[in-house]
Amino acid sequence: MKLPRNLSGRGLAKALKVLGYELTRQTGSHLRLTTRQQGEHHVTVPDHSPLKIGTLAGILGDVGQHFGRSREQIVKQLFDG
């Protein structure tokens, strides 16, 4: 599955709400998101527009690892409605 090419950091933060992630703090241009589903997990998302593809892939891979799913499964859940 292809990653979105025009996604901003804020857009990703909004999409991750589906998985229980909430903004816990912002330091400069970085957002810290935390979920407590299946244990506590934090990700740091740059507040850039658009996000670089490698950065987006890394964040989604980290989220997938926390939930025991592949990056492709996470992308499908977040962006395929």
CB contact set of 42 (below 8 Å; sequence gap of 6+): 24, 32, 33, 34
Contact in structure between 45 and 13 (CB atoms under 8 Å) = yes
Query: pTM of the full predicted structure?
Result: 0.93
The domains of the chain are located at 9-79
CATH ID of 9-79, from 2.60.120.260, 3.40.720.10, 3.40.50.300, 3.30.920.30: 3.30.920.30
Half-sphere exposure of 9 (CA within 13 A, CB side): 17
Give residue 81's pLDDT band: very low, low, confident or very high (50, 70, 90).
low
- Among candidates 6, 15, 19, which has minimal Cα distance to 69? 19
Residue range 20-53, pLDDT digits in tens: 999 999 999 999 999 999 999 999 999 999 999 9
Instruction: Please give the structure tokens belonging to residue 7.
Output: 């996604």
* Residue 27, burial from CB neighbour count under 10 angstroms (0-12, 13-18, 19+): exposed
